[in-house]
Amino acid sequence: MNNKEMQQKKVFLRTFGCQMNSRDSEEITGMLFEKGYSLSDSPEDADVVLFNTCSVRKHAEDRAIGNIGALQRLKKKKPRLIIGVVGCMAKARKGELIKKLPHIDFICAPANMYEIPEIIERLIRNGKQPNDEIASSVAPLLPRNDNYRSAATDYVSATTSKRQTILAIDKENRPEIKNVAYHKKGISALVTIMEGCDNFCSYCIVPYVRGREVGRPSESIIDEIRALADQGYKEVTLLGQNVNSYKETAYSVERIAYSLSAVRCPLSAKSRNFINLLEAINKINGIERIRFLTSHPKDAGEDLFKAMRDLDKVCEHLHLPLQSGSDRLLKSMNRGYTASDYARKAELLRKYVPECAMTTDIIVGYPGETEEDFNATKKLMEEIEFNFAFIFKYSPRPPARASELKDDVQKKDKEERNRILLELQESISFKKEKEFIGKETEVLIENTCRKEERKVMGRNRQNLKVALVGKNDLIGKLKTVKINSIFGHTLVGGLTALMVLFGPAFFNEADARTPEPRPFQGKSGTEECFVLGDYENAAREAAKTLPLASAEKGKLYYISGTSLNKLGRYEPARENFKSLIENYPKSEYAPLAQLGIADSYYLNEDYRAAAEEYEKYITGYPKSEAAATAYFRLGKCAQKEGRWQSARNYYQKVKTEYPLSFEAQMASETLSEEILYFTVQVGSFGKKSNALKLCDELVKKGYDASILKTQSDGQETYRVRVGRSDARAEAEELAKRLQAEGLPVKILP
């Protein structure tokens, strides 16, 4: 099939999991762009739907399977729709996925990723052929080995589907890591430098799904980064499962020809290790920052820490997974270090790079974990004081060796230990973030703030988010920002951020040096209360100041109305906004006041009135920067009222006309994840097996049934739902039929 024939084809790609998966998805997108494809915003509008999956934890698999299963109805409507499952779960679950999700067309492991365009092309070309012709036509694409034959045979014997599913899962390693030029737009890019892992930690599935370590040739890496610099990217993040063990690797012809017996060998005496690679990238003009993920403690030492100190573009941030503070568990995990080894490395890192932020991964509930083991982990976290920690509850990952151990830590104990460490880390993180208050930090501006159109967002060298007032022209620039407060886990610029909105006199130098607020007096006190989120005092001070103010009354009305909205006092909020619009129609705050009126109705759940006010905003201020917000909220209003088609249309408009906005991202997530239709719930079960039994019975009777898993207070619930309708009347008719079969029914939402 030539490019012209494929130009009209669209692909929808959903990514689960780590940044390595994100980069793999970029490569897949780039390969399909070369074949004439374009990206689709939704599965309904696509010719090909791909799920790039994660298998590191059970929760990630469950999410992916739920999303793939939800496409069964769409597949019936569009039988020529191609659905592919790629990534780690594809390799881990293999033929099992086909039995569970018979509507998928192909499965592709990470090492087979570069075959995806050819697989799709063959499926399209053979779409009209009978099953035996399809099977024979795709056979040359796949390896002739027992792994493929058994998986395919199991599938054929287990289903009566008219279409043979392709399994591209034979490779244990990628023959090479290609330089696929496509990267998402922005100023920061992901760059894969290696693939796979040789460590075989007992809990980890990575070596089994991504294979052994493969180091990409350094010249290929450097060429890619030079090209990124030429395109305007300012930051690169180097990716690998064990990035600081990077070494260039060559492959024998047998490996490239899919042999499992090939051996890796050094390229030459001049081949680079990870530190050599950092040194080379540090010299590339145009690249301002270098980050890397993920490091293994056994490979992180003095040489790496000195390089982080000496190379000016390498950021002061190191993610170094600890996993446990118990020596007994670390040995069982096959981590290759003790708790004291790790603590010494942390001390050495801070000796050479005092400003370095240190983040980590922790597992709770690993098989055999006792209270003593858990307390050792907690104690080490208290001693090291990580800036942030990803804390996970253990789940077995066959065929990783720990999956053979008894998963003997009770679920309630896992959840309690997880909660304790999360709370501990929250307090440590806040303490670390407060250390930035009153100090200056270098920020690379990345995008506009998703909630406040006058602000921009970026990250400092320690990888903390920073917000400051500014416009789009700051994106891609390095700025020195003085921090004066913290909102959530985001640092907020002090003098720089407030100067534009409130004037340079708002904070003096003393205010910038300390987070303690000044007494609230007059206009300045009103504004300060508002910025600090003290809406009660902001509204009170505005009410006192308005009768006395001779200027900037529009701003005071806006602050008062917004504060009252935040406090849930919607009627007086609207009065303030209306006064602003009537008395100061040309004020820069007038458009925001109209938006505030609409928000007051939305927050009060009067969605019809809210929709009318959002429409007024769009009509009255057609060129406003907040139009994306108004259209997104119109979609939400339609969704709340069950006007599904209208909701989808509004969300699609946001994505199409305002693609760079935060609302476009939220619209995309809503379209892919939320229920934008009526459905009938016919059962709710504590056991998955009971839900599966009912679901299977309904499917056999011709119903479009699916299972939704929810979790509350540690209890899992499996809900069986039937059908998707735009009109409630259709759902009511379906409910009557199901009720006649003796099933309890509930129409949702």
pLDDT of 355 reads: 96
Sign of the torsion formed by the C-alpha atoms of 133, 135, 138 and 140: negative
pLDDT score, position 672:
64
DSSP result, 718-744 = EEEEEEEESSHHHHHHHHHHHHHTT--
The per-residue pLDDT of the chain, averaged, comes to 82
Q: Give the DSSP letter string of 106-163.
A: EEE-GGGGGGHHHHHHHHHHTTTS-HHHHHHHHGGGS--SHHHHHHHHHHHHH---SS
Instruction: Indicate the pLDDT class of residue 554, thresholds 50, 70 and 90.
Output: confident
- For the cut 60, the answer to whether the pLDDT of residue 603 exceeds it is yes
CA separation, residue 286 to residues 188, 231, 232, 233, 238 (Å): 12, 9, 7, 8, 16
pLDDT tens column, 439-468:
999 999 998 876 666 788 999 999 999 988
Coil, helix or strand at residue 550: coil
> How many other CB atoms are there within 10 angstroms of residue 72's CB atom?
17
The answer to whether 432 and 385 are in contact (CB under 8 A) is yes
Supply the pLDDT for residue 39.
Answer: 92
Q: Given the DSSP bridges, would you call strands 678-685 and 478-487 parallel, antiparallel or unpaired? A: unpaired
Name residue 720's beta-bridge partners. Answer: 683, 707
- pLDDT tens for each residue of 471-495: 888 999 999 999 888 877 889 884 3
744 or 136: which carries more pLDDT confidence? 744
Query: Model confidence over 180-211: pLDDT tens digits?
Result: 889 999 999 999 999 999 999 999 999 999 99
Q: Are 744 and 734 in contact (CB under 8 A)?
A: no
Q: Which positions ≥6 away from 240 have C-beta within 8 Å?
A: 20, 192, 193, 194, 195, 246, 292, 293, 294
The amino acid at 580: L
Instruction: Output 405-414 pairs: Cβ under 8 A, ≥24 positions apart.
Output: 405/332, 405/367, 405/368, 406/367, 407/367, 408/367, 408/368, 409/365, 409/366, 409/367, 409/368, 409/369, 411/714, 412/714, 413/365, 414/364, 414/365
The answer to whether the Cα torsion of 691, 692, 697, 698 is positive or negative is positive
Taking residues 396-415, what's their average pLDDT? 94
Residue type, 152: A
The 10s digit of each residue's pLDDT in 429-441 is: 989 999 998 899 9
Q: Which amino acid is at 450?
A: R
The predicted pLDDT at position 228 comes to 96
Token pair belonging to 132: 């035996």
Separation between Cα atoms, residue 209 and residue 201, nearest integer Å: 13
Pairwise CA distance, residues 207 & 154, whole Å: 25
Write down the pLDDT at residue 471. 82
Q: Percentage of the chain surpassing pLDDT 90?
A: 48
% the chain with pLDDT above 70: 83
Report all structural domains of the chain as residue ranges with CATH numbers, in order of start. 3-168 (3.40.50.12160), 188-432 (3.80.30.20), 441-673 (1.25.40.10), 678-748 (3.30.70.1070)
Specify which residues 83 forms β-bridges with. Answer: 49
CA 28 to chain CA mean position, Å: 17
Query: Per-residue pLDDT for 505 more than 80?
Result: no
Which of 575, 533, 571, 544 is closest to 558 using CA atoms? 575
User: Which of 4-8, 104-108, 552-556, 640-644 has the least mean pLDDT?
Assistant: 4-8
